[in-house]
Amino acid sequence: MKKKAKGIQERYPCGPPNLEPLIEQMMDVRHDLLRKEMAYKKMDKVHLVNQKSARNLLHYMAFRLHDLRDLQLLLSEWGLSSLGRAERKVQATVDTVLHTLHALAGRDFETKEKPPVGYREGRAKLEDNTEKLLGELPPGRRVRIMVTMPTEAAHNYDLVKNLLLGGMNCARINCAHDDQAVWASIIENIRHAVEATGRSCKIHTDLGGPKLRTGPMASGPKVVKLRPARNELGETIAPASAWLFAEGEKTDAPKGASASLPVPATWLAQCKPGDHIHFFDARGAFRRMKIKETSPAGVLATVKKTCYFTPGLILNLERKGVKIKHPTALVGEELPRIPNAITLKAGDALLLKKQPVEGSNAVFDKKGKLKAPATVSISIPSVLDDVHEGEPIWFDDGKIGGIIEEKQAGAVLVRITQTKPGGELLKAEKGINLPETKLNVKALTDEDLEDLHFVVRHADMVGLSFANRPADVEDLVHRMKALRKDHVPAVVLKIETRMGFDNLPAMLLAAMQAPSCGVMIARGDLAIECGFGRLAEVQEQILWVCEAAHVPVIWATQVLEGLAKLGLPTRAEVTDAAMGQRAECIMLNKGGHIVEAAKALADILLRMQDHQTKKRSLLRKLSIAERFFNQVDEG
DSSP three-state, residue 583: coil
User: The dihedral of CA 521, 522, 527, 528: what is its sign?
Assistant: negative
Is the pLDDT confidence value at 12 over 80?
A: no
CA distances to 35, 168, 361, 519, 582 from 586, in Å:
36, 10, 42, 12, 9
Confidence of residue 1 (pLDDT cuts 50, 70, 90): very low
Query: What average pLDDT does the segment 155-182 reach?
Result: 95
Q: Is 591 exposed, middle or buried (0-12, 13-18, 19+ CB in 10 A)?
A: buried
pLDDT digits (tens, 9 = 90+) for 138-147: 888 889 999 9
Task: Identify the CA nearest to 584 among candidates 144, 166, 203, 132.
Answer: 144
Q: Is 12 a member of any domain?
A: no
Angle between helices 446-458 and 470-483 (to 10 degrees): 50
Are the CB atoms for 143 and 165 separated by under 8 Å?
Answer: no
Contact 584, 143 (CB under 8 A): yes
The predicted pLDDT at position 610 comes to: 66
**pLDDT over 70 at 322, yes or no:** yes
| Domain contains 137 | yes
Same domain, 243 and 314: yes
Tell me which residue range forms the domain holding 427. Answer: 340-433
Name the residue type at position 566.
L
Verify that 453 and 582 share a domain, yes or no: yes
pLDDT (0 to 100) of residue 494: 96
Q: Count the domains in the chain.
A: 4
Q: 502 in a domain, yes or no? A: yes
CATH of the domain at 238: 2.40.33.10
Pairing of strands 461-464, 490-495: parallel
Grade residue 366 by pLDDT with cuts at 50, 70 and 90.
confident
SS3 15: coil
Q: What's the 3-state SS for 16-71?
A: CCCHHHHHHHHHHHHHHHHHHHHHCCCHHHCCHHHHHHHHHHHHHHHHCCCCCHHH
| Same domain as 205, residue 231 | no
Statement to judge: residues 99 and 138 lie in one domain: no
pLDDT band at 450; cut points 50, 70, 90: very high
| Domain-located, residue 353 | yes
pTM assigned to the model: 0.82
pLDDT tens-digit readout, 513-565: 999 999 999 988 898 998 888 888 899 899 999 999 999 999 998 888 888 88
Statement to judge: residues 455 and 577 lie in one domain: yes
pLDDT of residue 608: 75
Task: Spell out a b/e string for 518-551, using b for 16 or more CB atoms within 10 Å of the CB, else e.
Answer: bbbbbbbbbbbbbeeeebeebbeebbbbbbbbbb
pLDDT tens-digit series, residues 577-606: 888 888 999 999 988 889 998 888 888 888
Identify whether residues 60 and 33 lie together within a single domain. yes
> CA of 335: how far to CAs of 166, 259, 271, 285, 358, in Å?
44, 9, 21, 20, 21
Q: Quick one: pLDDT at residue 435? A: 93
At residue 613, the pLDDT reads 64
Q: What is the pLDDT of residue 499?
A: 92
Cα(482)–Cα(233) distance, integer angstroms: 61
Give percent of the chain with pLDDT exceeding 70. 93
Predicted local distance difference test score (pLDDT) of residue 466: 92
Q: Are 205 and 455 in contact (CB under 8 A)?
A: yes
Q: What does pLDDT average to over the chain?
A: 89
The tally of CA atoms less than 13 A away on the side-chain side of residue 3 is: 3
Q: Which residue has the higher pLDDT, 31 or 635?
A: 31
Average pLDDT over every residue of 150-158: 96
More confident residue, 632 or 233: 233
**So what's the pLDDT on residue 411?**
95
What CATH number should be reported for the domain holding residue 503?
Answer: 3.20.20.60
Mean pLDDT of 621-629: 55
pLDDT at 617 over 50: no
| Residue 8 domain-assigned (yes or no) | no
Answer yes or no: is pLDDT of 34 > 80: yes
Q: Which of 284, 311, 338 is a domain's end point?
A: 338
Q: Are 164 and 188 in contact (CB under 8 A)?
A: no
Residue 16 has pLDDT above 70, yes or no: no
Q: What is the torsion angle, in degrees rounded to the nearest 10, for the CA atoms of residue 522, residue 524, residue 530 and residue 535? A: 80
The residue among 433, 463, 487 that closes a domain is: 433
**Residue 629 identity:** F
Asked if 243 contacts 257 with a C-beta cutoff of 8 angstroms, the reply is yes
The residue out of 58, 90, 117 marking a domain boundary is: 117
Q: Are residues 249 and 394 in the same domain?
A: no
Residues 293, 359: one domain? no
When pLDDT is cut at 50, 70 and 90, the band that residue 5 belongs to is: very low
Q: List Cα–Cα distances, 341 to 138, 354, 359, in angstroms.
A: 48, 19, 8
134 part of a folded domain: yes
605 and 487, same structural domain? yes
Question: Does the pLDDT of residue 2 top 60, yes or no?
Answer: no
Q: Which residue, among 39, 91, 50, has the nearest Cα to 510 in the 3D structure?
A: 50
Query: Looking at residue 618, what is its pLDDT?
Result: 45
Residue 631 domain-assigned (yes or no): no
* Residue 10 binned pLDDT confidence (cut-offs 50, 70, 90): low
Distance, in Å, from the CA atom of 163 to the CA atom of 61, rounded to the nearest integer, reads: 39
- What are the φ/ψ torsions at residue 269 (nearest 5 degrees)? -65, -20
Confirm if 102 and 26 have CB atoms less than 8 A apart: no
* Residues 473 and 611 placed together within one structural domain of the fold: yes
49-53, 478-482, 630-634: segment of lowest average pLDDT: 630-634
pLDDT for res 286: 96
Average pLDDT over residues 620-632: 56
Cα–Cα nearest to 596, from 138, 2, 147, 93: 147
Amino acid 148 reads T
Indicate whether 96 and 132 sit together in one domain. Answer: no
Specify whether 607 is located in the same domain as 476. yes
The answer to whether residue 251 sits within a structural domain is yes
